[in-house]
Each structure stands twice: as structure tokens, then as C-alpha cells.
């Protein structure tokens, strides 16, 4: 049975869906204001400082846990369908993860759609990665990627884009509830339609269209991780809620990576909603998931 604390995220999502349904003409600015409260359910991690910076001309924020290693880093991509969400909505979530791993996190505020259409977001993430490697003294083996939802997709597609641009791949990647964009072919869109409080075919299709633009290709391997070339990629650890409509996005990504010979791990969390990790510090399921992420990635980064 899910903890009583875990229902806080479901309530938040259902309230948002009700508000969006009551105002179907709401524009992007209104949606962004609504999702500015995404991090409200996340507890402050405590002992984490935040410092805004620019990573290769892209706005970003350092999350620096007290006593954190300075020679290892998490490169973090926030979710929100490439349209909403920000480094501010996600700072506490990534602060919790950085604190559990024991290193700094760089949370990238990539340009969002529709102002910054694909491949804008993935190119911004590559710029930030290049900045870490070429100006901040990190080696590729010192870096792990992580992100949620659209940011979970970026935790994979950024590796593919970096490889195309001649950059070495990071030590590992940890997508949380990754999203295949406007591709809504997964069966879980039907089987979990009544259980998922936030994501539906309509929301995925709408946000995906804003991200790709009129001439976009929903099977573009840098936009949809179901079509990314996984050959030669580092270890990947996917976490996803079992109640999500996006469940099959994660399952199919994992299968594609496995077929390519990647060291892939996937954990399904019973009855959990989309990016339940937002309940970090407030629900045991989220804290357990982040603990598992930290245990998995620390040896990949060479952290004892």
C-alpha cells in the first residue's frame, strides 16, 4: 500500500488537471505559472546551497550539499514537457539527489518550447555538458546525467547528441519517468489512463507538438528516446511509477538499451505517480528511490 504521504502528489496533479480543464484556453504563460508550484510538495533537503551561474551561455544553478565532493557532478535536466518547469521548480528535488550521492549537481535551465523548438533543449544540455568538460575541469567519467519526464528523455538524448558532436559520454545516466514526447503509442496510455493523475494522450500530444513544431518528427532520435541509438552508451538506471501512463515509455527504452548491449537497470514503483520523486523528504517511496539512485551511481562515479 502506498504511504499516506504519497497521495500529496496525486492530489496536486488532479487539482492541476481540474484547473486546466476549467480553463481550456490557457496559454503557455498560464501553464508555466501553474507548474511553478511543482516543487511545493518537495521538502527542503537541508544543508544544500544554491548558486546561479551560466553554463556555456545557458542559465543553470549549482546545488552544493555541505561537504560534497567537488570533482564529481550530476548534470540535471528538469521535466515539464520541454514547455514548463525550470531549475527553480526542480532545485529541491535535485538537491536531494545530489545530497544522497555526495556531490554537486548542475541544474540546467535550458530554453523551453515553443520559443526554443527542438533541437534547442538538447543542444542547450550539450552546451552545459561541454562547459563542464572544457572549462570546469571535469572528465567525462566524473559526470552522471539525471532528469525527470522530458528531462529524463534528455538524460538519454543528450548523450546521443554529445556523441554526434564528438564529446565523450558520461559515466552513467539516471532517467526518472522518462517521456517519449508526442509518441503516445505505449499501451500504458490505455491501461493506466484512470490511474495516472496528470499525463494523458492529450497532454503528451499537446506538449509534444509545441516542442517539435509543425514540421517536427516524433521519431527523431534526439527528441524521442524510443528511437535513440543506444549502442556504446554507459550504464543507465530508469525509475518509473507503476501507475503512470508513461510506464511503457520506460519499459521500451529499457528493452531497446538492453538489445544494444547497454548495462540497463529499471525499477518500477508500485502505485506511484509520474515523477513521484518530487515527494523527496516527505514520502518514504521517494526517499527510497533516491537512496537506490545514489547507491547505484556512486560506484559508477568512483565514489566510495
Local structure of residue 273 (DSSP, 8 states): -
C-alpha to C-alpha distance for 35 and 81, rounded to whole angstroms: 11
Q: How confident is the model at residue 25, as a pLDDT?
A: 86
The predicted structure's pLDDT at residue 214: 87
Q: How far apart are CA 127 and CA 243, in angstroms?
A: 34
R_g over Cα of the chain: 17
- The confidence score (pLDDT) of residue 302 equals 98
Asked if 251 and 266 touch (Cβ cutoff 8 Å), the reply is: yes
For the whole prediction, is pTM greater than 0.85?
Answer: yes
CA distance 278 to 108: 17
Listed in sequence order, the residues at least 6 apart from 119 whose beta carbon sits closer than 8 Å to its beta carbon are 161, 220, 222, 223
Spatial separation of the C-alpha atoms in residues 224 and 256, rounded to whole Å = 12
**Residue 274 falls in the annotated catalytic set:** yes
Torsion of CA 119, 121, 126, 131, to 10 degrees: 140
The answer to whether residue 90 is catalytic is: no
Q: What is the pLDDT of residue 229?
A: 98
Among candidate residues 244, 250, 277, 285, the one labeled active-site is 244
pLDDT of residue 215: 86
pLDDT digit of tens for each residue in the chain (304 aa)?
A: 899 999 999 999 999 999 999 998 889 999 999 999 999 999 999 999 999 999 999 999 999 999 999 999 999 999 999 999 999 999 999 999 999 999 999 999 999 999 999 999 999 999 999 999 999 999 999 999 999 999 999 999 999 999 999 999 999 999 999 999 999 999 999 999 999 999 999 999 999 999 999 889 999 999 999 999 999 999 999 999 999 999 999 999 999 999 999 999 999 999 999 999 999 999 999 999 999 999 999 999 999 9
Which CATH number applies to 4-300: 1.20.120.80, 1.10.10.10, 3.40.50.1820, 3.40.30.10?
Answer: 3.40.50.1820
C-alpha cell at 134: 572544457
**Per-residue model confidence (pLDDT) at position 1:** 84
Active site residue 134: no
Which listed residue (6, 77, 86, 149) is catalytic?
149
Q: What is the pLDDT of residue 66?
A: 98
Q: How far is residue 97's CA from residue 259's CA, in Å, rounded to a whole number? A: 29
Give the residue extent of every domain in the chain: 4-300
275 dihedral zone (left: phi>0; alpha: psi -120 to 50; beta)? left
Amino acid at each position: 500500500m502506498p504511504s499516506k504521504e504519497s497521495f500529496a502528489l496525486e492530489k496536486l496533479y488532479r487539482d492541476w488537471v481540474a484547473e486546466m480543464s476549467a480553463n481550456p484556453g490557457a496559454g503557455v504563460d498560464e501553464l508555466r505559472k501553474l507548474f511553478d508550484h511543482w516543487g511545493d510538495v518537495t521538502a527542503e533537503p537541508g544543508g544544500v546551497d544554491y548558486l546561479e551561474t551560466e553554463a556555456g551561455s545557458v542559465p543553470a544553478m549549482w546545488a552544493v550539499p555541505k561537504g560534497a565532493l567537488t570533482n564529481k557532478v550530476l548534470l540535471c535536466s528538469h521535466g515539464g514537457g520541454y514547455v514548463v518547469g525550470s531549475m527553480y521548480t526542480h532545485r529541491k528535488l535535485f538537491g536531494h539527489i545530489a545530497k544522497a550521492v555526495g556531490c554537486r549537481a548542475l541544474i540546467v535551465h535550458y530554453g523551453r518550447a515553443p520559443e526554443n523548438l527542438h533541437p534547442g533543449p538538447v543542444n542547450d544540455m550539450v552546451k552545459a555538458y561541454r562547459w563542464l568538460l572544457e572549462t570546469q575541469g571535469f572528465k567525462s567519467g566524473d559526470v552522471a546525467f539525471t532528469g525527470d519526464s522530458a528531462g529524463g528523455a534528455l538524460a538519454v538524448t543528450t548523450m546521443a547528441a554529445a556523441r554526434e558532436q564528438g564529446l565523450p559520454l558520461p559515466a552513467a545516466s539516471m532517467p526518472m519517468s522518462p517521456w517519449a514526447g508526442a509518441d503516445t503509442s505505449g499501451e500504458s496510455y490505455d491501461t493506466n489512463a484512470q490511474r495516472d493523475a496528470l499525463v494523458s494522450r492529450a497532454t503528451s500530444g499537446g506538449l509534444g507538438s509545441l516542442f517539435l513544431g509543425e514540421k517536427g518528427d516524433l521519431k527523431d532520435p534526439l527528441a524521442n528516446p524510443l528511437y535513440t541509438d543506444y549502442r556504446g552508451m554507459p550504464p543507465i538506471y530508469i525509475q518509473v511509477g507503476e501507475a503512470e501512463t508513461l510506464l511503457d515509455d520506460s519499459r521500451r527504452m529499457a528493452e531497446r538499451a538492453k538489445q544494444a548491449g547497454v548495462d540497463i537497470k529499471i525499477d518500477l514503483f508500485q502505485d506511484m505517480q509520474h515523477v513521484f520523486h518530487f515527494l523527496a523528504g516527505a514520502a518514504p517511496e521517494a526517499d527510497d528511490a533516491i537512496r537506490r539512485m545514489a547507491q547505484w551511481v556512486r560506484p559508477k562515479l568512483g565514489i566510495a
